Amino acid sequence: METKKTGSFLSGGTIVLLVLMAIGAYAAIYRFAFGLGASTDLQDNFPWGLWVGFDVLSGVALAAGGFTVTAAVYIFNMKKYKPIARPAVLTAFIGYLMVIVGLIVDIGKPLSFWHPLVMWNHHSIMFEVVWCITLYTTVLALEFSSAFLEKWGWTGALKVMKGLTFPLVIAGIILSYLHQSSLGAFFLIVPAKLNPIWYSPIIPQLFYLSAIALGLAMVTFESVVSARAFGREQEKEIVSGLGKGTSIALLVYLAVRVADLIVRGAMPMVFQGGAASTAFLIEIVVGVVLPMILLSMKSTRESVNGTLLSVSLVIAGIVMNRFNVTFFAQTSSGASYFPTWKEFAITIGLVSLAIFLYRLAAMYLPVFHPAGAKTGR
Amino acid sequence: MANAKPKGVLVDLTRCIGCRGCQIACKQWNLRGVKHTVMYGNFTNPPQLNSECYTNINYVEQDQPARPVWSFVKNQCMHCKNPACASACPVGALVKTQEGPVVYEFDRCIGCRYCMIACPFQIPKYEWDKTLPSIQKCTFCSERVANGLIPACVKVCPTQTMYFDDHDKVIAEAERRLKSSPGKYINHIYGKEEAGGTSWVYLSSQPFEDIGFNTKVPKAELPDLTWASLSKIPYAVVGGAVVLSAIAYFRNRGSRAEGTGGSDSEKEG
């Protein structure tokens, strides 16, 4: 339905996005005016819900394409992927902006969101995560700034940014490792609460490895979908390569995950039935094993639809992992939780806003085919 | 101030008669309101701690061969020696004081609720109904203790269920009671080792797991678990920077010259 690159901005899809954003905005205003109790199903026994599970934990992992692709292009010099470096940075930048908005909506005192930047407790994982997210969002803003500089033709500033490419990329990769893994490390402190299927001393590393797979899957998804939406030709070679990368990342993740379960003696719990083991099996079989096998086959990777389906499974599976961890860390008290429509509305509104911003940038900035001056380095 | 030795309380559950005087005294001293509750087939009221209720008595009835046995279990913050909540808090809004109480400062708090997740005893509660909510939990009557008084609940208890003193003396007293009345108690001081040790400890005649205590709480100090991850950050940063720079240098050696020229290698699509 979307018209060509320069088509009208206000397409049918955009109107849907605007409506969803408006509903989300209403829910957000309601939440700020009347508090968390009035707008969510959060309770003393279930203090972290949809917004932490999706907007923050999943959101950060979904934005992992930024550091994986810049690492591939700039550190490992895989030039083939250069055309998607800027779109990946854009997705990551928008993703982190949404994470920050999501965090501000979620915390009880939104106007105090800046406190961790001045009131330090360096023993707190949350403190570290807030700092990393702040710094990494700054890195992404700088990395993406070259798109603006190109558009405005500020060649001097562009040259400066180009010189900063390597330091920024390296800082981005390190910061990403730190906080992607720390989102898992949140749960190290609850050995008696989190279900042993997920509680592991290496849960930080598991979060990191799964974020790499998810980041690659997201970049693949985005390449395919945006090519369709903006009437570009599919970048088959890149998509196929990303599919392969995703498959390898899934294999590494799966191997570590299974080895961890065996070493900890938690394997029997996986097959004992019940909500937790069922949730785990869906997460792993549908979200990891199946797409890993599919993407390892050349025939899947050569089919745009096959690749799209496979990476969608990865996205669903690893988002489900973040939900499972959040959920099964809080059910030991017998609590139950289901998000209210306002919680859903805000999350859906944020996703819509992200797509909207992406579309805006893609239409008005040199994202896919950087102008003559070209991207950083 | 005069005596900065950390304080503790021994709760001897065999002495509690379930009068709930402590619940009332706590509300009075800490200016807590009430929440509406309904009958639900159990005498515990309110059924759980909440933002207006720092302490309650859990009424546990156990069917035993001879006759039912009642246990009255006082709940409140355990005031861990190295509290998970305080280590979790990104802004240091929860702090373990020298005298023993773990205290909360609203002005620092951002409301992330990680303390609620981190606490192994499910103690911190939230003011969900407010637009500027506080974390609420037992304060160990920190202002009273700092001024040489004993906590309100301890003061009001008619049966001396609670013994307040320096923490080491509290532990010694618990051990003395275990030794001097063999058979009266389960041979365990709950809180002596749980979560690395807590300022409040319990003695009971009934197995702790049967009367609502979480006996799965690890003996280790929980903040050590996250610190193991945090303390490696400097190495990750330095190591990461070195390794990544090295890889980038060697992988990009060939293309260095062409890259600096400006527009270059990128084609395909």
Q: Report how far residue A15's alpha carbon sits from residue A11's, in angstroms, rounded to the nearest whole number.
A: 6
Structure tokens at B184: 């009266």
Amino acid at A356: F
Q: Let me know how long chain B is.
A: 269
Cβ of residue B180 closer than 8 Å to a chain A Cβ:
no
B261: pLDDT strictly greater than 70: no
Residues 6+ apart with CB under 8 A from B66: none
CA distances from residue B91 to A99, A182, B106, B141, B231 in whole angstroms, order as listed: 19, 17, 11, 22, 18
Q: Which residue in the set B49, B113, B264 is minimally distant from A47, CB to CB? A: B113
How many CA atoms lie less than 13 Å away from A242 in the CB half-sphere? 36
Whether residues B92 and A235 touch (CB distance < 8 A) is answered with no
Q: Which residue in the set A45, A123, A125 is minimally distant from B122, CB to CB? A: A45
Whether residues B88 and A125 touch (CB distance < 8 A) is answered with yes
Contact A132, A365 (CB under 8 A): no
Q: What is the DSSP letter of B208?
A: G
Backbone angles phi, psi at A122, to 5 degrees: -75, 0
Q: Report how far residue B262's alpha carbon sits from residue B265's, in angstroms, rounded to the nearest whole number.
A: 10
Task: Give the tens place of pLDDT for each residue, B148-169.
Answer: 999 999 999 999 999 999 999 9
Task: Give the tens place of pLDDT for each residue, A222-252.
Answer: 999 988 888 888 888 899 999 999 999 999 9
Q: Let me know how long chain A is.
A: 377
Cβ of residue B149 closer than 8 Å to a chain A Cβ:
no
Over residues B56-83, mean pLDDT: 93
Report the mean per-residue pLDDT for chain B: 90
Cβ of residue B146 closer than 8 Å to a chain A Cβ:
no
Q: Testing the interface with B: which of A189, A207, A232, A342 to mutate, by most B Cβ within 10 A?
A: A189
Whether residues B110 and A76 touch (CB distance < 8 A) is answered with no
Other CB atoms within 10 Å distance of the CB of residue B20: 19
| DSSP element (H, E) containing A147 | helix A125-152
Residues paired with B125 in a beta bridge:
B136
- Residue A107 to chain B, least CA–CA distance (Å): 5
pLDDT of residue B268: 33
- Residue A256 to chain B, least CA–CA distance (Å): 18
Chains A, B: CB contacts under 8 A, how many? 201
Residues 6+ apart with CB under 8 A from A254: A284, A288, A289, A292
Alpha helices (runs of H) in chain B, residue ranges in sequence order: 21-30, 84-88, 114-118, 142-146, 152-156, 167-180, 223-230, 233-251, 256-260
Strand pairing report for B200-203 and B7-12: parallel
Q: Report how far residue A179's alpha carbon sits from residue A133's, in angstroms, rounded to the nearest whole number.
A: 7
- Residue B73 to chain A, least CA–CA distance (Å): 17
Poorest-pLDDT segment among A84-88, A130-134, B64-68, B216-220: B64-68
Grade residue B255 by pLDDT with cuts at 50, 70 and 90: low
Mean pLDDT, 10 residues at a time, over chain A (377 residues)?
53 90 96 95 95 94 93 90 92 95 95 94 94 95 92 90 90 94 94 93 95 95 89 87 94 97 92 91 95 92 91 96 94 89 96 94 82 38
Domains and CATH numbers, chain A: 12-364 (1.20.1630.10)
Helix, strand, coil fractions of chain A, as percent rounded to 5? 75, 0, 25
Grade residue B3 by pLDDT with cuts at 50, 70 and 90: low
Measured in whole angstroms, the distance separating CA A284 from the mean position of its chain's CA atoms is 18
Other CB atoms within 10 Å distance of the CB of residue B219: 10
Cβ of residue B233 closer than 8 Å to a chain A Cβ:
yes
Cβ of residue A236 closer than 8 Å to a chain B Cβ:
no
Whether residues A121 and B252 touch (CB distance < 8 A) is answered with no
In chain A, which residues have their Cβ closer than 8 Å to the Cβ of B241? 170, 174
ipTM for the complex shown: 0.90
Q: Report how far residue A354's alpha carbon sits from residue A337's, in angstroms, rounded to the nearest whole number.
A: 26
- Residue B1 to chain A, least CA–CA distance (Å): 25
Residues 6+ apart with CB under 8 A from B29: B141, B144, B152
C-alpha closest to that of B101 among B76, B122, B126, B74: B76
Cβ of residue B222 closer than 8 Å to a chain A Cβ:
yes
Q: Spell out a b/e string for A16-54, using b for 16 or more CB atoms within 10 Å of the CB, else e.
A: ebeebbebbeebbeebeeebbbebbbbbbbbbbbbbbbb
